[in-house]
């Protein structure tokens, strides 16, 4: 809206100059470089589906169906479900559904809602750390997000639409948090 535009660029660095580096390739004289707020800039690009440091190709971060290490609530004590009894006939390799554009609330148990509040709380802590350009706090907050996701009991979502919606969103959150926590 105000004409400010950031573009991700690959550069080749040369020798260190103490608190800086010589840029051998990737910039031209007169180019302006963001030196503060880079986490915020990158996070905004990633959320907008544009190329970012964590997703250089841009677009949605994840697709597909993967429980990402979350408790599946199986009664065998194995910690997961192999989904071998699922009818996969109408499943496509890549989901084109935009799960961020839901026009209705999906019913969920109070238990699931409380678990989701923990994920949201950790996510907001991560967002604040990214906005403040604090790598150490971002790393720690990303690990909290992953921990909160692991404690979500998928057994609480019995509705297929709710399950599919949560699986897509949780995988995207998990993959982003994993990238940040490294």
pLDDT block averages, 10 residues each, the chain of length 182: 70 86 88 78 78 77 50 48 49 50 73 92 91 91 94 86 85 91 85
> Is the distance from CB of 33 to CB of 7 less than 8 angstroms?
no
162/144 Cα distance (integer angstroms):
24
Assigned domain for 130 exists: yes
Assigned domain for 122 exists: yes
89/39 Cα distance (integer angstroms):
41
Domain count, the chain: 1
Question: Which domain, by its residues, includes 158?
Answer: 110-181
Question: What was the pLDDT predicted at 141?
Answer: 94
Assigned domain for 135 exists: yes
Nearest 5°: the CA angle 122, 177, 66 is 110
Assigned domain for 30 exists: no
Assigned domain for 123 exists: yes
Question: What was the pLDDT predicted at 78?
Answer: 44
Q: What is the pTM of this model?
A: 0.47
154/99 Cα distance (integer angstroms):
17
Assigned domain for 137 exists: yes
Assigned domain for 80 exists: no
Assigned domain for 163 exists: yes
According to DSSP, the residues that pair with 16 across neighbouring strands are 21
């Amino acid at each position: 809206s105000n004409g400010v535009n950031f573009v991700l660029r690959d550069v080749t660095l040369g020798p260190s100059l103490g608190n800086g580096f010589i840029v051998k390739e990737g910039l031209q004289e007169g180019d302006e470089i963001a030196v503060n707020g880079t986490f915020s800039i990158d996070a905004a690009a990633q959320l907008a589906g544009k190329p970012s440091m964590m997703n250089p190709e841009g677009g949605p971060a994840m697709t597909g169906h993967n429980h990402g290490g979350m408790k599946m609530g199986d009664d065998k004590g194995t910690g997961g479900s192999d989904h071998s009894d699922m009818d996969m006939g109408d499943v496509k390799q890549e989901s084109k559904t935009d799960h961020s554009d839901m026009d209705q609330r999906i019913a969920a148990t109070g238990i699931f809602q409380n678990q989701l509040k923990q994920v949201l709380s950790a996510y907001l802590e991560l967002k604040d750390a990214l906005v403040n350009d604090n790598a150490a706090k971002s790393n720690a907050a990303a690990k909290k997000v992953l921990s909160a996701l692991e404690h979500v009991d998928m057994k609480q979502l019995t509705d297929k639409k709710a399950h599919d919606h949560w699986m897509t969103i949780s995988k995207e959150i998990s993959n982003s948090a994993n990238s940040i926590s490294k």
